[in-house]
């Protein structure tokens, strides 16, 4: 017996010394064009391609892609790729291609007519090869620069008449509005689809942004969007055809009763928009747990159900005030990111733009939702980019090992996941790409997959630990509150408490926050989402070996011996 323990002890210690090997998530080599496979967007090889896009604006009065007076287009494209985005939703106004009098207008002339001479010198300095191009050629130059940097493009018809979008009364909201002639729209879509036929990085066309206003109705939605989809597909069968909903792209609920009738398959995607202000000031005036529960249910009813029906759903706009001073936005984004992770949605952030040439009459308007700063040079807020990085690569989908299904414990307010560095250090938050797999059992234990080690509470306001007495009530984790994002358990003395993080990102267990109706408190630090993942996680090999040793009779004794030896 003594010899056995001696042997086991050293085996364990040596096994523990094997630092887990992290297999990095390799970026898939994308074979364009893209297709759909049930709710997933896939490449020609059938492998999932997760669209992690950023919106780049090109539909304002000047009809020139923003930022070209600040940085060379190639530098901006490289910056986009370096921030982890694999795609741009590039907006364009219909009149860019349908208005004959605009066909020959150059970038220089467009800014001259707006009286923006400083912008002209900026473009002259940063993009001399673009300044005297006709507007559509300048647009093509941007698409081609993105392509050269391996960035995919979704062309988004944002509006008809160039200018800031959107209101119910701007004449661009729905078929039949002052600037929204359905025939002209079909003509413009056809033209755009034709221009980019054969341009392989253009992977999708978003037919019209944020349908809205008093004229909107379901019958015309089917009539015109089906026509538009057919027109785009026949002009360019390679692109994904992306359809937006009513009421500012919030409402696709009518599809529950009647599907879109198209002659082609494998190319149809739906899009929806979801901001903090989509629900007014609800996040500010309500209790975030209740608001999150309600808003997510609503989203599932209006558009999220499409995933279950087997359609891809792209959140083509979301975003927040990146200064971190808008409480409504701050609360919303936690709930949003948790949902995006859980459903593993494709998305496009609003926006890349650091500042606009001219927006709503203001020259050089600073965009506080923009990932770039005013100068288009630096990141506006690098902690935000870290936060979204976990949802830039897929958690699951075709082509990712389906035998490796596990959970990661995602913490939306940091964008990090619960990680174990070693068995004897407290659990901490770290990059989700380094997360090992967890399993969540019917008995509500959270176990490191392939091991006996489960997440367990200790004392209140103390680090959580990995234990092996997993039947104890301190190892049982309920998802509670209206948001279902608190993981609640019992601490040693029998009190109820919640998983939390401290200021050092150590995983602790503390008093549950904001479970009442209080609107003054923010439960963000206690929000965790158990996300299904088939990403390659850390190698569980060392654990499996240890597991077999610990499965031997007397394992608890070995465990205790090991603990006391190392303490």
Ligand X SMILES: *[C@@H]1O[C@H](CO)[C@@H](O)[C@H](O)[C@H]1NC(C)=O
Residues that bind ligand X (CB under 6 A): 95, 99, 101-102, 261, 322-324, 330, 381, 383-384, 460, 493-495
Tokens 């800014």 locate to: 111
In terms of CB distance, is 101 or 471 closer to ligand X?
Answer: 101
CB of 105 to ligand X, least distance (A): 8
CB of 322 to ligand X, least distance (A): 6
User: How would you classify residue 133: left for phi > 0, otherwise alpha for psi between -120 and 50, otherwise beta?
Assistant: beta
**Which two tokens mark 347?**
């998305």
Residue 459 CA neighbour count, 13 Å, CB half: 1
In terms of CB distance, is 352 or 562 closer to ligand X?
Answer: 352
Do residues 357 and 119 make contact, with C-beta atoms less than 8 angstroms apart? yes
Please, what sign has the CA dihedral across residues 40, 44, 47, 51?
negative
**Which two tokens mark 529?**
């989402």
CB of 190 to ligand X, least distance (A): 17
CB of 99 to ligand X, least distance (A): 4
Do residues 472 and 423 make contact, with C-beta atoms less than 8 angstroms apart? no
Nearest position to ligand X, beta carbon: 324
In terms of CB distance, is 504 or 567 closer to ligand X?
Answer: 504
Do residues 507 and 429 make contact, with C-beta atoms less than 8 angstroms apart? yes
Distance, CA of 39 to chain centre: 16
In terms of CB distance, is 314 or 416 closer to ligand X?
Answer: 416
Helix (H) or strand (E) holding 411: strand 406-411
CB of 40 to ligand X, least distance (A): 25
Please, what sign has the CA dihedral across residues 342, 277, 350, 321?
negative
Do residues 13 and 558 make contact, with C-beta atoms less than 8 angstroms apart? no
Rg of the chain, C-alpha, whole Å: 26
In terms of CB distance, is 59 or 396 closer to ligand X?
Answer: 59
In terms of CB distance, is 32 or 99 closer to ligand X?
Answer: 99
CB of 272 to ligand X, least distance (A): 24
DSSP state of 26: P
CB of 179 to ligand X, least distance (A): 8
Task: Output phi, psi for 391, to 5 deg.
Answer: -100, 10
In terms of CB distance, is 13 or 103 closer to ligand X?
Answer: 103
CB of 265 to ligand X, least distance (A): 13
In terms of CB distance, is 266 or 324 closer to ligand X?
Answer: 324
In terms of CB distance, is 9 or 277 closer to ligand X?
Answer: 277
Q: How far apart are CA 508 and CA 490, in angstroms?
A: 13
**Which two tokens mark 392?**
């830039």
CB of 429 to ligand X, least distance (A): 15
Task: Output phi, psi for 559, to 5 deg.
Answer: -60, -45
**Burial group, residue 1, by CB count within 10 angstroms (0-12, 13-18, 19+):** exposed
């Amino acid at each position: 017996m003594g010899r056995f323990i001696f042997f086991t002890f050293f085996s364990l210690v040596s096994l523990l010394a094997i630092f887990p090997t992290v297999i990095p998530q390799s970026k898939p080599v994308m074979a364009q064009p893209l297709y759909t496979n049930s709710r997933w967007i896939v490449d020609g090889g059938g492998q999932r391609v997760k669209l992690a896009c950023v919106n780049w604006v090109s539909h304002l009065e000047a009809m020139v892609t923003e930022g070209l007076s600040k940085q060379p287009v190639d530098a901006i494209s490289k910056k986009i790729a370096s921030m982890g985005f694999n795609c741009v939703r590039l907006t364009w106004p219909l009149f860019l291609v349908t208005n004959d009098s605009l066909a020959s207008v150059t970038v220089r002339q467009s800014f001259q007519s707006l009286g923006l001479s400083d912008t002209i010198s900026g473009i002259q300095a940063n993009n001399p090869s673009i300044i005297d191009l006709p507007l559509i050629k300048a647009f093509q130059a941007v698409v081609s620069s993105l392509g050269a940097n391996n960035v995919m493009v979704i062309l988004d018809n944002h509006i008809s008449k160039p200018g800031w979008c959107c209101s119910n009364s701007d004449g661009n909201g729905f078929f039949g509005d002052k600037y929204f002639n359905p025939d002209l729209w079909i003509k413009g879509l056809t033209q755009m689809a034709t221009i980019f036929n054969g341009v392989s990085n253009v992977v999708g066309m978003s037919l019209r942004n944020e349908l809205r206003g008093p004229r909107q109705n379901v019958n015309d939605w089917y009539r015109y969007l089906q026509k538009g989809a057919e027109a785009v597909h026949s002009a360019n069968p390679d692109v994904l055809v992306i359809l937006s909903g009513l009421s500012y792209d919030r409402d696709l609920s009518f599809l529950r009763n009647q599907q879109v009738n198209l002659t082609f398959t494998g190319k149809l995607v739906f899009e929806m928009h979801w901001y903090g202000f989509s629900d007014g000031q609800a996040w500010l005036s309500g209790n975030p747990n209740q608001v999150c529960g309600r808003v997510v249910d609503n989203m599932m009813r209006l558009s999220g159900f499409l995933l279950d029906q087997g359609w891809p759903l792209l959140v083509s706009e979301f975003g927040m005030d990146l200064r971190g001073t808008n409480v409504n936005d701050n609360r919303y984004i936690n709930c949003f990111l948790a949902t995006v992770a859980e459903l593993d949605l494709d998305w496009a952030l609003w926006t890349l733009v650091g500042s606009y040439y001219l927006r709503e009459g203001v020259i050089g308007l600073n965009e506080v939702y923009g990932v770039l700063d005013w100068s288009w040079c630096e990141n506006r807020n690098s902690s935000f980019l870290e936060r979204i990085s976990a949802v830039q690569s897929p958690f699951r989908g075709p082509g990712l090992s389906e035998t490796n299904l596990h959970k990661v414990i995602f913490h939306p307010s940091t964008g990090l996941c619960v990680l174990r560095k070693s068995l004897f250090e407290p659990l901490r938050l770290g990059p989700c790409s380094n997360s090992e797999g967890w399993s969540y059992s019917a008995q509500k234990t959270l176990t490191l997959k392939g091991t006996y080690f489960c997440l367990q509470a200790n004392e209140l306001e103390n680090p959580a630990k990995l234990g092996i007495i997993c039947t104890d009530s301190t190892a049982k984790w309920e998802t509670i509150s209206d948001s279902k994002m608190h993981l609640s358990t019992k601490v040693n003395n029998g009190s109820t408490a919640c998983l939390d993080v401290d200021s050092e990102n150590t995983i602790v267990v503390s008093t549950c926050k904001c479970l009442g109706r209080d609107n003054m408190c923010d439960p963000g630090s206690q929000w965790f989402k158990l996300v299904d993942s088939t990403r390659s996680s850390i190698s569980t090999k060392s654990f499996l070996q240890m597991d077999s040793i610990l499965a031997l009779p007397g394992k608890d004794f070995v465990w205790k011996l090991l603990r006391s030896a190392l303490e």
